[in-house]
Amino acid sequence: MDLPPADALCFFGATGDLAYKQIFPALQAIVKHGTLTVPVIGVAKSGWTLEQLVERARASVTAHSGLDPEAFPRLVALLRYVDGDYHDPATFTRLRELLGPARFPLHYLAIPPSLFPVVVRHLSESGCARGARVVVEKPFGRDLTSAQQLNRLLHRVFDENAIFRIDHFLGKEPVQNLVYFRFANSFLEPIWNRNYVKSIQITLAEQFGVQGRGAFYEEAGAIRDVVQNHLLQVTALLTMEAPNPLSADSLREEISDVLSAIPPLSPEAVVRGQYLGYRQEPNVAPTSTVETFAAVKLWVENWRWAGVPIYLRTGKMLPLTANEVVVQLRAPPVAVFNQRDLSPTNSLRFRLSPEVQIVLEARKKKERERMVGEPVELVAVSDPGEDMLPYERLLTDALRGDQTLFARQDAVEHCWRIVQPALENVTPLFFYPPGSWGPPEQERVLEEGDRWRDPSVVAGPEGASA
């Protein structure tokens, strides 16, 4: 059932870190593009006034996107504020008053998951949930059981078509381009299968550490924080069948279908690492066994991908920050030119961040040599990145009622089912020095003949580092 456009936006956690870094810049951008004209009500318990919230918003956009002299005053004119305890029914009575005649409010829970039950219950009891939709920030639980509990909680108050599970990764332009590039180019379809693809690997590397978020990371770790959501979502986009027609329902059905074909991770196919110095971070246990690096191997057990290993890797304090997909094609069946340096032969590389590139890696004949080749990269796309903020796109879609880029309940549960055997420190922990590509034990997850493809600094249009 199609949802009407939202006629109010309420965001809980208005004074928090996420609002400061992501939400206020996104709201200013949505106002600038003319798609946000409804009241925006911030809710938090900080002892603040509306004027203080406005100054927080001003500092936010100045630091993260630049203050727009026309859009920011329009955003300020839409802002309202409720300061109160989430456990206090009076907070929600005040919210209901500020909603006024709004019939289809959007409630965005940019708060810790432990507060979801409290806020959802009070939204229901106060009448604020009537006709409303809710945006839930990840993580969607800590494991399969807690994800199912969260879904039951939400469904007691909201229908599935009114629940928007936000993963900002799906709002990124380059990630969406994976889907477009796959299904808009017919030359890929004949080779996009087990007959021609040898392996797929996805790397999300971060040059920085936990950045003062030690308490959060002690509860999460790399598998919960990145593998269970971001990397499995990209895996699904790379391996799913074509949605027909292109709609929220069909796209999310194909994502769920391919995730259902991935068996739970085998502990032998998981390597966890921790960078040296993590245990000295604030709010980190001195004997912590939480992983800051993870490398895993999984399989999609369906007709298209049977036998093709898919490698996922993520880590903090690595040599650079980048997100890259490499689809490695099989070698030619006969070595016509009798060269032994043809591995890898061909691959398709998607650079998702910080630069955006689609590169075909091939071989060509060296000049003035007798049938001796050399590698060459054919760059299909190269640009400095995206203009539209991920949260701008996702909040705009939520306001419109478009669920295309939001996770569905069954897909979330499939992702937890896949990583469940790797949770709770069931595999050994290996240490690695900051600035390396992780522990050498990560080689254990590779099939014979495969190797990790480390992202490198991408050259810009003039040959300089981008």
Crossing angle between the packed helical segments 144-155 and 116-126, to the nearest 10 degrees: 10
Strand partners, 106: 9, 133
Kindly provide the residue ranges of all beta strands, DSSP E only, lying in 355-399, ordered along the sequence: 356-365, 373-383
CA dihedral 9, 13, 15, 17 (to 10 degrees): -110
Task: From residue 108, give the alpha-carbon distance in Å to each of 55, 166, 327.
Answer: 21, 10, 36
Q: Which residue has the tokens 């500092």?
A: 59
Give the chain's length.
Answer: 466
CA distance 137 to 113: 8
**Amino acid code (one letter) for 89:** P
Specify whether the CB–CB gap between 337 and 454 falls below 8 A.
Answer: no
Percentages (nearest 5) of helix, strand, coil residues in the chain = 35, 20, 40
Tokens of 26: 């996104």
Task: From residue 428, give the alpha-carbon distance in Å to each of 7, 31, 97, 290, 441.
Answer: 51, 49, 54, 11, 10
Number of Cβ atoms within 10 Å of the Cβ of 412: 27
Q: Which one is catalytic: 107, 122, 230, 414? A: 230
| Residue 230 known to be catalytic | yes
Tokens of 367: 């000049």
For the sheet with 8-12, list strands across it: 79-83, 40-44, 8-12, 105-109, 133-137, 163-166
Coil, helix or strand at residue 110: coil
CA distance 443 to 426: 19
443: nearest Cα among 456, 433, 434, 452:
452
Q: Which residue has the tokens 């996805």?
A: 202
Instruction: Cite the active site residues.
Output: 230
